[in-house]
Amino acid sequence: MNDPNGMVFYQGTYHLFYQYYPGGTTWGPMHWGHATSPDLVRWQERPIALYPDSLGYIFSGSAVVDAANTTGFGKDGKVPLVAIFTSHDPKGEKKGTDTFENQSLAYSLDAGTTWTKYAGNPVLKNPGSRDFRDPKVMWYAAGKKWVMTLATKDRVTFYSSPNLKDWAKESEFGATAGAHGGVWECPDLFPLLLNGQPRWVLVANLNPGAPNGGSGTQYFVGSFDGHAFVPLSEQTKWVDYGPDDYAGVTWSNTAGRRIFLGWLSNWDYANQLPTAPWRNALTVPRELGLQRVGNEIYLTSQPVPEVQKIVRPGITLRNVAVRQPLDLTPKLGKLGDKFELTIKAKQLAGFSLVLSNAKGEALAIGYDRAANHYFIDRSKSGVVGFNAKFAGRHTAPRLATGPEASLTLLFDAGSVELFADHGLTVMSELFFPTEAMTTLKLSADHGFTVQELTYSAVAVKVQ
């Protein structure tokens, strides 16, 4: 699997669709897989929602609740859910044409269980761009119209429609802003409040060109008037600095919440990860917010509160003075392969937290005070030789400026997601030990006192 798609909340259920090839564990003809959840943490796999057709593979896109039935798809009082996706024609691509990606619709009248493709597809035809995909659609209430944010080469193009069927170009953004190391993909546009004032956030995933190599997710904060997006700053900012968060977008129809989900992988090595019989996964769902630091406004990401439903009561160590490497394992007990670790300090200092096993495989996570960045080092974390770009020490700037620090780390058997300083700095990282990591040690450069360190096992029953 790869990109999360069509994320929509309806009648108490979170729908997640995703790029999926049922015929193997490497990229192939794309379908939309489907899973549902009542709470964002317990998921049930559903039948494949969309299959390739005469227009091509089913590439990425979004889904909306057409409450006013602007499409006319609704019948007998049934509200349509509408999926907007890219039809990718492999035959046209092989012929060398520039018009093999177009936008299409499908709709559901049974709350997302089954889907019918619109007979008039495609609804937005390619004007002549080899990269013309990943439509993210929202209802723009002020203009009483739908707005589509579309990835077009190394920028985004905005379109609008009264009915999801007839589209008109509004504007473009990104020719001179942000990172341009590769093609832009999977964009998203949404409002967030900062001190009661609305701001607009434009997400633009990029491959390659991320800060730690390969694919990553950049964003801009600015204004949107229904026609054009204007950024407040030209500074390049990243949703997640780790190497393993890509194609992230947000759920539709979640009222005042903005919930983000990314693909927990990287195109540098996604087809080669040493897992079987599955390959690739998604990040934990994240609640987004905005925070001002100095003259800049940053996006914050934190695990959704629902994650605490599967976090068991933990063990808390208080006022831990680290003067020499300290083995925490005897105090925390046996480490499971899924756990949450939180660290709070009144005065942040350089430190390293090392998770390891009896084979000497180790994952190091910490803060480099001299460089003022957080880091995750997976160089010796287990199986790393499947791709030359996988092993390494990856860094992320500390954006917070105060002395106090808080970190939340979510560990799974083969991944860690780091949320530092209330989500100002985020890193997602894969690792593949050959046996369970059972030892946790903490060291510091020049002495470090941890006010609170809490270890909590995570128990989730996969449905």
* Assigned domain for 319 exists: yes
Task: Work out the average pLDDT over 392-409.
Answer: 97
144 in the same domain as 256: yes
Compute the distance between CA of residue 42 and CA of residue 118 in angstroms, rounded to an integer.
31
Does one domain contain both 337 and 243? no
The span from the CA of 383 to the CA of 272, in Å, is: 11
CB burial of 262-292 (b: ≥16 within 10 Å; e: otherwise) equals bbbbbbbbbbebbeeeebbbbbbbbbbbbbe
- Asked if residue 463 is part of any domain, the answer here is no
pLDDT, tens digit, for every residue of 234-257?
Answer: 899 999 999 999 999 999 999 999
CATH of the domain at 445: 2.60.120.560
pLDDT tens digits, 106-162: 999 999 999 999 999 999 999 999 999 999 999 999 999 999 999 999 999 999 999
pLDDT at residue number 462: 54
Does residue 295 sit in the same domain as residue 354?
no
Interacting residues of 331 by C-beta distance below 8 A, sequence separation 6+: 315, 317
Q: For residues 295 and 333, state if they share a domain.
A: no
User: Is the bond leading into 208 cis (omega within 30 degrees of zero)?
Assistant: yes
Is the domain of 260 the same as that of 360? no
Domain that holds residue 415: 311-457
Where does residue 422 fall: left (phi above 0), alpha (psi -120 to 50 degrees), or beta otherwise? left
pLDDT per position as a tens digit, 344-364: 999 999 999 999 999 999 999
pLDDT value of residue 445:
85
263 domain residue, yes or no: yes
Is 122 among the domain residues?
A: yes
What is d(CA 269, CA 246) in angstroms, rounded to the nearest whole number?
13
The answer as to whether 462 is a domain residue is no
What pLDDT is attached to residue 460?
74
Dist. CA 440–CA 341, nearest whole Å:
11
Each residue of 69-104: pLDDT tens digit?
999 999 999 999 999 999 999 999 999 999 999 999
- Determine the Cα–Cα distance for residues 318 and 174; give it in Å rounded to an integer: 48
Q: Tell me whether residue 445 is one of the annotated catalytic residues.
A: no
Which residue, 276, 356, 312, 231, is CA-closest to 24?
Answer: 276
Residue 315 has pLDDT above 70, yes or no: yes
Question: Sign (positive/negative) of CA torsion 128, 165, 114, 64?
Answer: positive
pLDDT exceeds cutoff 60 at 463: no
Predicted confidence at residue 158, as pLDDT, reads 98
The number of distinct structural domains making up the chain is 2
The one catalytic residue in 3, 66, 245, 377 is 3
Indicate whether 144 belongs to any domain: yes
Same domain, 333 and 208: no
pLDDT for 447: 81
Where a domain ends, among 281, 305, 329? Answer: 305
Q: How confident is the model at residue 446 (pLDDT cuts 50, 70, 90)?
A: confident
Q: Are both 237 and 109 inside the same structural domain?
A: yes
Backbone φ and ψ for 36, nearest 5 degrees, come out as -130, 155
**Length of the chain in terms of residues written:** 463
HEC readout, the chain: CCCEEEEEEECCEEEEEEEECCCCCCCCCCEEEEEEECCCCCCEEEEEEECCECCEEEEEEEEEECCCCCCCCCCCCCCCEEEEEEEECHHHHHHCCCCCEEEEEEEECCCCCCCEECCCCCCECCCCCCCEEEEEEEEEHHHCEEEEEEEECCEEEEEEECCCCCCEEEEEECCCCCCCCCEEEEEEEEEEEECCEEEEEEEEEEECCCCCCCCEEEEEEEEECCCCEEECCCCCEEEECCCCCEEEEECECCCCCCEEEEECCCCCCCCCCCCCCCCCCECCCEEEEEEEECCEEEEEEEECHHHHHHECCCEEEEEEEECCCEECHHHHCCCCCCEEEEEEECCCCCEEEEEECCCCCEEEEEEECCCCEEEEECCCCCCCCCCCCCCCEEEEECCCCCCCEEEEEEEECCEEEEEECCCCEEEEEECCCCCCCCEEEEEECCCEEEEEEEEEEECCCCC
Q: Are residues 235 and 381 in the same domain?
A: no
Q: Among residues 305, 328, 343, which one ends one of the domains?
A: 305
Q: What is the mean pLDDT of the chain?
A: 97
Cα separation, 439 vs 354, whole angstroms = 8
Q: What is the CA radius of gyration of the chain?
A: 22
Query: Does the pLDDT at position 266 exceed 80?
Result: yes
The predicted model gives 29-48 an average pLDDT of: 97
Does 289 share its domain with 396? no
Q: Does residue 127 form part of some domain?
A: yes
Tell me which of 282, 305, 328 is where a domain ends. 305
328 to 49, 353, 367: CA distances (angstroms): 46, 10, 18
CATH number of the domain that residue 195 is part of: 2.115.10.20
**171 and 95 inside one domain:** yes
What average pLDDT does the segment 37-42 reach? 96
Q: Are residues 194 and 276 in the same domain?
A: yes
Amino acid identity of residue 329, one-letter, is T
The answer to whether 90 and 64 are in contact (CB under 8 A) is: no
Which pLDDT score is estimated for 461?
65
Residue 457 has pLDDT above 70, yes or no: yes
Task: Assess whether 93 and 14 both reside in one domain.
Answer: yes
**pLDDT tens per residue across span 178-225:** 999 999 999 999 999 999 999 999 999 999 999 999 999 999 999 999
342 assigned to some structural domain: yes
